[in-house]
Structure 1
Amino acid sequence: MSPTLTFALAGNPNSGKTTLFNSLTGARQHVGNYPGVTVEKREGRLRAAGRDLILVDLPGMYSLTAYCADERAARSFLVEEKPSCVIDVVDAGTLERGLYLTVQLLELGAPVVLALNMMDEVRRRGLSLDTGLLARLLGLPVVATVARLGQGTDDLVRQALEYAKARRGQWKPLELSYGPDVDRALGVMAARIEADRFLTDRFPARWLALKYLEADEDVIVLARGRGPTAAFLEETAARLARHIRETQATYPEAVISDYRYGFIAALLRRGVLQRTASPDRLAVSDTVDRVLTHAVAGPLIMLAVLFCMFQLTFLTSRYPMDWLEAGFGWLGEAAGAALPEGLLKSLVVSGVIAGVGGVLGFVPLICVMFFLLSCLEDLGYTARMAYMLDRVFRAFGLHGASVMPFIISGGIPGGCAVPGVMAARTLRSPKERLATILSAPFMACGAKIPVYLLLIAAFFPEHPGMVMFGITVASWAAALCVAKLWRATVIAGHSTPFLMELPPYRLPTLRGLLIHTGERAWQYIKKAGTIVLAISVVMWAAMTFPGLPPDRLADYDAERAALAAEREALPDDGSAQADRQALGERLDDLDNRQTEEALRRSLAGRLGVALESLSRLAGFDWRVNIALIGGLAAKEVVVSTLGTAYDLGQAEPEAPQALSGRLAADPRFTPAVALALIAFTILYAPCFVTVAVMARETNWKWAAFAVVANTALGFAVAVAVFQIARIW
């Protein structure tokens, strides 16, 4: 049987690399971590020409000189694993920039197959690429692809397989000239490396010398302490750096970069890239960006886009949400009528239907919001948001690259803090990365949205879109201000420069939008049916047991019997109808007092009541305290727990009545309390899963810091909001 071949998929961010990976592997993929680091590793399997292939999707990178964890992991895989072939995915519309990584892969000696992706956009821009000529000039296979449509993928795999067989695992480094000064130093260094066999089992000699001249810290630290050769290489690199600084007023890395781009420009000038349309025709993306990323108009347009997104979301989802709430109400009534009195009925009606139904009732709105978010992402607009916000972020001690973790976490409502925290891996500065990780969970993630929507429906139904827009702006402001606080105190340090690629605008496909929306909506529904359901049952049990002691039950039974006897003693004629109705109301009030006391005496109730003396400063009663404690596991549980608490707090709960109506009818739950609860939800501790990921990305000390500091800060802000709102 032929051995399994391993192909690596490399490329710049936004080159379509992951789209190609998904197209080739489909569902035959799994996710893990690279050994020793927290960078995500994606592997998939496919079969071609009777051979089993493993395809590894490397993190996006611009260079093999590693500056961040993603680039380190990608380079380490290439050097250590030496895959049979590297498929380099290049955005054909930015060929010069994409080929910079290609040249470095060739200098490393890797067997490279070039996938020129997004060729349809190149043609639309009036350009033509001679793939055959480029293949001859580089001496490697070049395949035109459109990954999102699956065009050219079969030919790509076939040519990669043939090339891997022809190379037979041999790595042949490309040697470029970098001018007399650099070439002379490279020659001396490479000769010493080969003579001493210094790390030649891992790196080509000339490539290792290049890393020294490029001041690659990882390579230098790895080699340091391995004998006099390491010291010689560092001394030679330092001597060249001084010479270039004195004679050219620059540094070796810049010289090397210039020569690489010169090599690429010479390739393209030989007829590889030609223009078929008018030469002065501007690319559509560049023309549109003149307006959408304008210093003044750009941010205003961005705010308008977000505002319209919220208005459209609430407008289109209103009726489906009403229908779904009515459906859960009917289901609660039907279950209550079918089940006998007892714990099972309470569990099903108050624990499951009232709890999970309160979360699932927002599915239509979540779907609309996810659909619109997918539109912005697929269009390429979220990258423009990051570009425009860079200057703002730097003022708060963050980095332009922090914008994407914020957006992914819920900067455009509907994200998730878990991938948002993981996205901070791309930041090169450890302090900026830590500040981003600590502040990203403040965003309006998909788990917090049901809490916000519940409070909006209960207390601010006249302008839901405007209120949701305000919550989003408040989340951004909170994240930036807290980041500034941490950067000025516990993680002080200087900011680093920002460089980001703006992908061209692309019209989203309906199929792609539906797939993205369906995936996110299904994750939301699945979470409600698993995690939220499990926690709802646990919270129901905590709010049900141990129940009232026998003496209190006897007191209520005696009072109930006395009222019933008093009602029975009334005459049957119509003269006592008013008295009979008053006694019925007293009986109902007695039942409600009994169920509320039982809830107060439960395990969760006792904890909520114990915290009430402090939480009252923010307007939170014991019911809200219970819900917020449950929200530490998952923020959606705040809604489900409130639903269960208000259901258990009534002897005969009115199933058709939405939870928002019950909150609005509670005289203790005022708009001031709602505003304080919104502020606390923005700021307080992340959910358990996010905390675990934060610990993995940093350590448990910082994860615990996020839980304690965020909750304390959130409570202080909630108290201030409640006290100010109550006065107004």
Structure 2
Amino acid sequence: MKNKIEIALAGNPNSGKTSTFNHLTGSMQHVGNWPGVTVERKSGQYRKNTQIELQDLPGIYSMSPYTPEEIVARDYLLSNSANAIIDIVDATNLERNLYLTTQLMETGIPVVIGLNMMDILEKQNRPLNIQKLSYGLGVPVVPMSALKKKGLNKAVKKALYIAQEHGEVQFPTYDNRLEVALAEILDVLGNTVPTRQARWFAIKLFERDEKAEATLDLSEMQKKEIEEIIQITEKVFDDDAEAIVVNERYNFVTQLSALCLGERDSISFTFSDKIDRIVTNRFLALPIFAGLMWLVYSISIQWIGGFGTDFLNEQIFGDWVPNIAEKTLENWQVAEWLKSLIIDGIIAGCGAVLGFLPQIIVLFFCLGILEDCGYMSRIAFVMDRIFRRFGLSGKSFIPMLIATGCGVPGVMASRTIENEKDRRITVMVTTFMPCSAKLPIIALIAGAFFPKDNWVAPSAYMVGIAAIILSGIALKKTKLFSSDATPFIMELPSYHLPMMKNVVRYAFEHGKEFVKRAATIIFVMNIVIWFTSSFSWQLHMVETEDSILASLGRVLAPIFAPIGWGNWKGTVATLTGLVAKETVVGTFGILFHAGELASEDGKEIWGNLTQSFTALSAYSFLLFNLLCAPCFAAIGAIHKEMHNFKWTVMAIAYQCGLAYVVSFLAYQVGLVVIEKRAINILTVLAFLLAAVILFLLVRKPAKKAELPSISSKDFEEMERV
């Protein structure tokens, strides 16, 4: 059997790299994490030749090891696994993209340039000479369009050819004075490094890259000679070594771009520029974003997704499946306890969760469209303008966008933030964003208590963003978190029609993950909930109100009475939500399905929820479960990113405390304003809390302070990550 050819796809973020990968591999791909990190990795077989394995590297701007993505790409390319690289270059941002190209070429791996978005460049009336670009770089250049699926297969064929040819690799050439220094370093290295990677190591040693030096077994004499070469060159250039290399790369790229890229025939705004003048406008950006989120949640929760959920809840899991299961079990003459487990536990619990699958799929289909067309990148830019007002940067919003899918990768994504204090704040507030696991709770409350109001579901999203912004303002004014905002730079891709294949895959992956959780964690939890809600402490089968679960819930229920739902069922559902947020709905499915409340009509089962909650207390319940501590998996991710148990406890305490305060304010003020109740001591306390919050938001910032010291063990763990 032939040995597999491994081809890496590399490029800047938003260059079209992932779209290219998805088209080339189709369904023949798998997703995982790179060893030792949580950066997503995609591998897949080339559809037209299964002997070719494609690796989708994370989008990066350079190979300097500053972020997890850059470390992953660098380590992989230096591992000698890749036989060739297809560098996806955005033709509309040639100079920015070619900076990474110079570094990829220096790895010694054969490179093919996949010049993407040529169709957009043509619309901009900017001629590009492909032959001159290829000649200047010394590598093959293939014009392509990932959106229109043109030239992709040709790029793979060219990469396969140069991988098998094993010809001499071309490198960018810089100023003669730098080239002389690099040649001298190569002489000093001798056989210390592999021939293929010799130039890359020479440049990195010239830049005084400690990570590169640590991978080599250099003698003290070699280190001394290399340092002398660097110092002499710095005097010649009158600049430091790293700046010399950066300037030379940019000079090379600038000259090459001028050689092959013509100017526009006339100065004019592109289609993307015209749209951005509206959607990123200082005054219109946020209203447009709010309107789009309202539309997305309305489509997902009430309109298209709502129809599918109603059908599953009322017909499939509320009528057909339970009836078929009951008749089958009666014919088999199974024991009553087993019949109750299957119908009242597994079907009622898992069915309650799975019933919201249509809304999950529709939501992520809509978000996938916004992501694929280029709009979500603009939101990070818009939010940077807001975040910077209270000391955070737009980098903090990226983890929050990721958290709309799942809190775990959202928390993990915070490690790309260089400022330690900003990173800790981001970890603490990221899970305020409603993730896919919280969507069933939102849909349940909206459908059961506010069936005619389409503001409830979008308000959950806005409450999450408001909690993040206000938390950031308050925390940044404390001595513990006070610091300057870090700069935020990102490439805004051109708008284009979304590729439906990518959008469908995006929605399908999230839907599959939702079903997977329902079939594993939630399935097990539903069995536990059924057992504890069906048996007494003496292990006798009893009514739900006399069960183990009821007795435990009643002990803790008074804690939640001031926020409107001091009943044991709501208390138990909230606690089980710590395992997985979907379990909140599964718990209600079991508790309100059992005993006298059982009904042949699935709709009436959810109607029974109104016997334990009012509309106001239900919304308070929603607020608390949106903002309180996330599931155990996300708590584990928070602990991993905090590197410290005390910081983890602080984060969880802050989340639960804020959730309680927000719910308390909403319920107590709602009692007076909406339900016209008389003012009491709790109302006064609510107004005092509101005054304290206002003070924390408007007070002067505290003086900056260093973070508390951490142990050497914690520091070693941070270095390892």
SS of 1:9 mapped into structure 2: strand
> What corresponds to 1:7 in structure 2?
7
Q: How far apart, CA to CA, are the structure 2 residues paired with 1:220 and 1:490?
A: 36
> What corresponds to 1:543 in structure 2?
533
C-alpha distance 30-656 of structure 1, shift in aligned 2 (>3 A): closer
> What corresponds to 2:458 in structure 1?
469
> What corresponds to 1:606 in structure 2?
551
> What corresponds to 2:23 in structure 1?
23
Q: How far apart, CA to CA, are the structure 2 residues paired with 1:424 and 1:122?
A: 34
Q: Following TM superposition, by how much is the alpha carbon of 1:505 offset from its aligned partner in structure 2, in angstroms?
A: 0.1
RMSD: 3.4
**Alpha carbons 1:115, 1:145 under 8 Å: kept:** yes
Q: Following TM superposition, by how much is the alpha carbon of 1:2 offset from its aligned partner in structure 2, in angstroms?
A: 4.7
Q: Following TM superposition, by how much is the alpha carbon of 1:288 offset from its aligned partner in structure 2, in angstroms?
A: 1.6
**Alpha carbons 1:186, 1:206 under 8 Å: kept:** no
Letter of the aligned partner of 1:409 in structure 2? A
Of the three residues 286, 289, 293, the one matched with 1:302 is 289
Task: State which drifts further: 101-110 or 509-518.
Answer: 509-518
Task: State which drifts further: 482-491 or 617-626.
Answer: 482-491
Of the three residues 346, 355, 371, the one matched with 1:352 is 346
Of the three residues 179, 184, 188, the one matched with 1:191 is 184
Query: Is residue 620 from structure 1 mapped to residue 566 from structure 2 by the alignment?
Result: yes
Q: Following TM superposition, by how much is the alpha carbon of 1:226 offset from its aligned partner in structure 2, in angstroms?
A: 5.8
Q: Following TM superposition, by how much is the alpha carbon of 1:114 offset from its aligned partner in structure 2, in angstroms?
A: 0.8
**Alpha carbons 1:406, 1:440 under 8 Å: kept:** yes
Q: How far apart, CA to CA, are the structure 2 residues paired with 1:596 and 1:3?
A: 62
TM norm structure 2: 0.82
C-alpha distance 229-477 of structure 1, shift in aligned 2 (>3 A): farther
Q: How far apart, CA to CA, are the structure 1 residues paired with 2:482 and 2:179?
A: 39
Q: Following TM superposition, by how much is the alpha carbon of 1:680 offset from its aligned partner in structure 2, in angstroms?
A: 1.5
C-alpha distance 643-229 of structure 1, shift in aligned 2 (>3 A): same
Q: Following TM superposition, by how much is the alpha carbon of 1:434 offset from its aligned partner in structure 2, in angstroms?
A: 3.7
SS of 1:650 mapped into structure 2: helix
What aligned pairs does 1:77-226 form with structure 2 within 5 A after superposition? 77-81=76-80, 83-167=82-166, 173-177=171-175, 184=177, 187-188=180-181, 190-192=183-185, 194-195=187-188, 197=190, 200-201=193-194, 207-208=200-201, 210-211=203-204, 214=207, 216=209, 218-219=211-212
* Deviation sequence 1:144-168 (CA, Å, 0-9, x none): 2223444323222221121122226
Q: How far apart, CA to CA, are the structure 1 residues paired with 2:74 and 2:248?
A: 22
C-alpha distance 479-217 of structure 1, shift in aligned 2 (>3 A): farther
**Alpha carbons 2:533, 2:544 under 8 Å: kept:** no
Of the three residues 303, 314, 324, the one matched with 1:326 is 314
> What corresponds to 2:44 in structure 1?
44
Query: Is residue 371 from structure 1 mapped to residue 371 from structure 2 by the alignment?
Result: no
In the alignment, structure 1 segments of 5+ residues that lack a partner are 178-182, 554-593
Q: Which has the larger radius of gyration?
A: 1
Q: How far apart, CA to CA, are the structure 2 residues paired with 1:596 and 1:82?
A: 59
**Alpha carbons 2:116, 2:146 under 8 Å: kept:** yes
Query: Is residue 447 from structure 1 mapped to residue 395 from structure 2 by the alignment?
Result: no
* Deviation sequence 1:578-603 (CA, Å, 0-9, x none): xxxxxxxxxxxxxxxx72433xx32x
Q: Following TM superposition, by how much is the alpha carbon of 1:241 offset from its aligned partner in structure 2, in angstroms?
A: 6.3
> What corresponds to 1:574 in structure 2?
none
Q: Following TM superposition, by how much is the alpha carbon of 1:373 offset from its aligned partner in structure 2, in angstroms?
A: 1.3
Letter of the aligned partner of 2:459 in structure 1? G
Q: How far apart, CA to CA, are the structure 2 residues paired with 1:450 and 1:542?
A: 23
What aligned pairs does 1:262-301 form with structure 2 within 5 A after superposition? 262-270=251-259, 272-274=260-262, 278-301=265-288
**Alpha carbons 1:108, 1:173 under 8 Å: kept:** no
SS of 2:580 mapped into structure 1: coil
> What corresponds to 1:678 in structure 2?
622
> What corresponds to 1:427 in structure 2?
417
Letter of the aligned partner of 1:40 in structure 2? E
Query: Is residue 632 from structure 1 mapped to residue 578 from structure 2 by the alignment?
Result: yes
**Alpha carbons 2:106, 2:200 under 8 Å: kept:** yes
Q: Following TM superposition, by how much is the alpha carbon of 1:506 offset from its aligned partner in structure 2, in angstroms?
A: 0.7
**Alpha carbons 1:320, 1:364 under 8 Å: kept:** yes
> What corresponds to 2:63 in structure 1?
64
Q: How far apart, CA to CA, are the structure 1 residues paired with 2:216 and 2:418?
A: 22
Q: How far apart, CA to CA, are the structure 1 residues paired with 2:177 and 2:139?
A: 28
Task: State which drifts further: 92-101 or 330-339.
Answer: 330-339
What aligned pairs does 1:408-557 form with structure 2 within 5 A after superposition? 408-410=402-404, 415-463=405-453, 465-484=454-473, 488=478, 493-546=483-536
C-alpha distance 530-611 of structure 1, shift in aligned 2 (>3 A): same
> What corresponds to 1:387 in structure 2?
381
TM norm structure 1: 0.82
Letter of the aligned partner of 2:252 in structure 1? F
* Deviation sequence 1:86-115 (CA, Å, 0-9, x none): 211111222222111112222343321111
Could you tell me the percent identity over the aligned residues?
34
Q: How far apart, CA to CA, are the structure 1 residues paired with 2:392 and 2:605?
A: 40
Give the paired residue count. 663
Q: Following TM superposition, by how much is the alpha carbon of 1:719 offset from its aligned partner in structure 2, in angstroms?
A: 3.6
Letter of the aligned partner of 2:16 in structure 1? G
Q: How far apart, CA to CA, are the structure 2 residues paired with 1:128 and 1:189?
A: 35
* Deviation sequence 1:338-370 (CA, Å, 0-9, x none): 655822332233213322232233333333322
C-alpha distance 130-608 of structure 1, shift in aligned 2 (>3 A): same
C-alpha distance 47-3 of structure 1, shift in aligned 2 (>3 A): farther
SS of 1:543 mapped into structure 2: helix
Letter of the aligned partner of 2:470 in structure 1? C
Q: Following TM superposition, by how much is the alpha carbon of 1:303 offset from its aligned partner in structure 2, in angstroms?
A: 2.0
Letter of the aligned partner of 1:380 in structure 2? G
> What corresponds to 2:716 in structure 1?
none
SS of 1:388 mapped into structure 2: helix
> What corresponds to 1:645 in structure 2?
591
> What corresponds to 1:567 in structure 2?
none
> What corresponds to 1:563 in structure 2?
none
Of the three residues 328, 337, 355, the one matched with 1:343 is 337
Letter of the aligned partner of 1:323 in structure 2? F
Q: Following TM superposition, by how much is the alpha carbon of 1:537 offset from its aligned partner in structure 2, in angstroms?
A: 2.2
Q: How far apart, CA to CA, are the structure 1 residues paired with 2:636 and 2:289?
A: 33
Q: Following TM superposition, by how much is the alpha carbon of 1:544 offset from its aligned partner in structure 2, in angstroms?
A: 1.4
Q: How far apart, CA to CA, are the structure 2 residues paired with 1:29 and 1:370?
A: 20
* Deviation sequence 1:2-49 (CA, Å, 0-9, x none): 543332221111112122223333344444444444433333334877
**Alpha carbons 2:544, 2:550 under 8 Å: kept:** no
Q: How far apart, CA to CA, are the structure 2 residues paired with 1:164 and 1:349?
A: 59
Q: How far apart, CA to CA, are the structure 2 residues paired with 1:231 and 1:483?
A: 48
Task: State which drifts further: 317-326 or 452-461.
Answer: 317-326
C-alpha distance 29-493 of structure 1, shift in aligned 2 (>3 A): same
Q: Following TM superposition, by how much is the alpha carbon of 1:262 offset from its aligned partner in structure 2, in angstroms?
A: 3.2
C-alpha distance 704-217 of structure 1, shift in aligned 2 (>3 A): farther
Q: Following TM superposition, by how much is the alpha carbon of 1:56 offset from its aligned partner in structure 2, in angstroms?
A: 2.2
Q: How far apart, CA to CA, are the structure 2 residues paired with 1:90 and 1:305?
A: 31
Letter of the aligned partner of 2:578 in structure 1? L
* Deviation sequence 1:173-227 (CA, Å, 0-9, x none): 43311xxxxx546634652563255964489566445446656464467679962
Q: Following TM superposition, by how much is the alpha carbon of 1:71 offset from its aligned partner in structure 2, in angstroms?
A: 0.5
Letter of the aligned partner of 2:151 in structure 1? G
Letter of the aligned partner of 1:125 in structure 2? Q
Letter of the aligned partner of 2:447 in structure 1? A
Letter of the aligned partner of 2:354 in structure 1? L
C-alpha distance 134-325 of structure 1, shift in aligned 2 (>3 A): same
In the alignment, structure 2 segments of 5+ residues that lack a partner are 674-721
